Amino acid sequence: MRNQDIANLLDLTADLLEIQGANSFRIRAYRSAVRTIEGLTENLADVAGKGAGELTKLPGIGKDLAQRIVEIIQSGTTTQLDELREEVPAGVLDMLKLPGLGPKKVGALFHELHVTSLDELKQAAEEGRVSLLKGFAKKTEQSILENIDAAAQFGQRVSIAEAKRAAEAICDDLRQLDCVTQVEVAGSCRRSKETCGDLDILAVADSPTEIMDRLSEHELVQAVLQRGDTKQRVRLINGLEADLRVVPEESFGAAMQYFTGSKEHNVEVRRRAQERGLKLNEYGLFRGEESVAGRTEEDVYAALGLGWVPPELRENRGEIELAEANKLPKLVEMSDIRGDLHMHTTASDGEASILEMAQAAKDRGLSYIAITDHSKRASVANGLDDKRLLKHWKDIEKVRGQISGIEILKGIECDILEDATLDISDEVLAEADWVIAVIHYGLKQPRKQIMERLLNAIKNPYVCAIGHPSGRIVNKRQGADIDYPEFFQAAADYGVFMEINANPARLDLDDIHAAAARDKGIPIVINTDAHSCGGLDVMPYGVAQARRAGLEAKDVANTRTYSEFCKMLRTS
């Protein structure tokens, strides 16, 4: 059981408690434990293994929570969570996926309107019953109606981070078995899509029974839904479902190719096979009865006159032509990344100090970072005004003398205000090494206003990059209405970088827009936006998004050495 799995279950408990109107101190205790656990570098299960008292030494973890954590590690749930799940129907939790609906509001809808599903909520909103509730504005009701169809559609999908974590834990475990020679995850998870509908796991094993038994006993598995001779479908504790298919060794490559998808990619590949008088399915590539390829994916693609296509590109967006012409890009990799240009400290809403963040980044092999705390408009995040920012930069200068082997840029995540001005004065911005401009507020403004704000930021001589440009939250909130061609043209003209925010909840720019920005010659920076040391570990999701965009190392500014990176910055 990984830390994030434990944190997720505690967070779910907090949501359920809040829906049930529990004491706010208790809820806060759970939330603060979640943050503690997410920021931990050591494995919580190992800490718990050292003895009963060890967990309570962690900040924000008292006796009660320590007990729950132990329960989760041992059984994958808690009696409290099971009880809460009985009291609150699963459909009530679906309502949390709507923007603007937190557990408190969802609790009111459940208890006062007796709404227990998205369908019922839609009906209640259409009938105007939602806005009659205390604390609900007409605007909230409208927003529910605007977003409910998307929420129902996304409802069953989980973030790539959650999917990958579960897939890795399960695959690692199945690989322990002696009877197993191969286990890999395929499907959207292997393609690193932003969200996954289910997991598709493939294995080669002498004993299908043994590997299926092992899966059904896995701590992340809640229930076995179907079981056949070589195929099993299970539901995980986070609600995600997973298929395990045991395939013959000589079919493993063909099965990986088939189940990695996407469907659209497969349709094209299969058409190519047919053109050559071949038949392609999950068992192999055949001429009549004779097998031509199937053991490895490389063999399958090669037999069709194609180079091996990296999974992230398999969306039928031109990759097959590139594979045929031997022109597939050499996609950027985690090991190419040398810097991280977006992170927070205790100066605003981060959990670690400047020095701790720098040390954590250095431990992860980075050679430069930018500290970019919030500006004052982000008052909930304790954003900095001009004066505090100048003092904060002095602190950064001091830290430079306390750590070697890593360069620290004096940065700021500066809000682009609703009236298109910047939240920090030009005189102060002029002193920065690195300025990321972002829109946090007024995301729903009409396109004309949004564009005015973005263009104004781009034209400011001190702005280096636009952070999480669309402002979307994956599965939850749509991004701003941006005229991308105009936006990218301006960024290209003024030499402003674009961020791929690696936080799995953002992944912003998305793959399509990151590719479009690259086509305009705009340097891309992949940043974690970390709010704790552990937050630095989301970089692989940003790299995966860049790979889905077809980016190479040369397209990504923070693959450069520090001095090369500095040369790219605007000198004004």
Binding test (CB under 6 A) with ligand DGT, winner from 52, 132, 223, 267: 267
Give, for 437, the enclosing helix (H) or strand (E).
strand 434-438
Strands 284-287 and 279-281: antiparallel
Q: Which residue is nearest to ligand DGT (CB)?
A: 261
Binding at 259: pick from Ca ion, ligand DGT, none (beta carbon under 5-8 Å per type): ligand DGT
Q: Is 239 in the site for ligand DGT (CB under 6 A)?
A: no
134 binds, among Ca ion, ligand DGT, none (CB under 5 to 8 A by kind): none
Q: Give the residue with the Cβ less far from Ca ion, 198 or 510.
A: 198
Which one, of 119, 117, 141, lies nearest residue 129 by Cα? 141
CB of 549 to ligand DGT, least distance (A): 18
Residue 487 near ligand DGT by CB under 6 A: no
Q: Which of 27, 115, 196, 205 binds ligand DGT (CB under 6 A)?
A: 196
Comparing CB distances to ligand DGT, the nearer of 170 and 416 is 170
Nearer to ligand DGT by C-beta: 262 or 291?
Answer: 262
329 interface partner picked from ligand DGT, Ca ion, none, CB below 5 to 8 A per type: none
Which residues contact residue 567 at a Cβ distance below 8 angstroms, ignoring those fewer than 6 apart? none
Question: Tokens 């630095």 label which residue?
Answer: 536
With CB under 6 A as the contact rule, the residue among 200, 351, 415, 511 that binds ligand DGT is 200
Taking residue 274's Cβ as centre, other Cβ atoms within 10 Å add up to: 10
Among 91, 100, 155, 197, which residue interacts with ligand DGT (rule: CB under 6 A)? Answer: 197
Query: Nearest approach, Cβ of 79 to ligand DGT (angstroms)?
Result: 32
Torsion of CA 436, 442, 447, 448, to 10 degrees: -90
| Among 262, 316, 346, 421, contact with ligand DGT (rule: CB under 6 A) | 262
**C-beta of 269: minimal distance to ligand DGT in Å?**
9
Q: How far apart are CA 343 and CA 149, in angstroms?
A: 34
Which of 170, 354 has the CB closer to ligand DGT? 170
**Measured from the CB of residue 212, what is the shortest distance to Ca ion in angstroms?**
16
CB-nearer residue toward ligand DGT: 65 or 269 = 269
| Contact status, residue 10 vs residue 30, Cβ threshold 8 Å | yes
Least distance CB 201 / ligand DGT (angstroms): 11
**311 is an interface residue for ligand DGT by CB under 6 A:** no
Q: For ligand DGT, which is the closer residue by CB, 258 or 565?
A: 258
| Tokens read off for 319 | 């990759």
Token pair 């004309």: residue: 448
| Amino acid identity, position 549 | A
**DSSP for 423-443, written as a single string:** SS-HHHHTT-SEEEEE--S-T
Return d(Cα 383, Cα 554) in angstroms, integer.
34
Residue-wise over 295-314: b if at least 16 C-beta within 10 A, else e?
bebebbbebbebbebbbbbb
Strand partners, 285: 280, 293
Contact (CB, 8 A) for 5 and 75: no
Q: How far apart are CA 168 and CA 173, in angstroms?
A: 8
Residues between 162 and 191 that touch Ca ion (CB under 5 A): 187-188
Nearest residue (beta carbon) to Ca ion: 187
Instruction: Report the residue number, 185 or 429, with the smaller CB distance to Ca ion.
Output: 185
**Distances from the Cα of 547 to the Cα of 191, 229, 334, 508, angstroms:** 10, 37, 10, 13
Neighbour tally for 139: CB within 10 Å: 10
| In the complex, minimum distance from the CB of residue 167 to Ca ion, in angstroms, rounded to a whole number | 10
Segment contacting ligand DGT (CB under 6 A): 104-112, 191-199, 289-297, 346-354?
191-199
Nearer to ligand DGT, 115 or 185 (CB): 185
Site for ligand DGT in 151-190 (CB under 6 A): 187-188
Residues 284, 295: Cα–Cα separation, whole Å: 8
Binding site for ligand DGT (CB under 6 A): 187-188, 193, 196-198, 200, 258-259, 261-263, 266-267
Binding site for Ca ion (CB under 5 A): 187-188, 198, 200
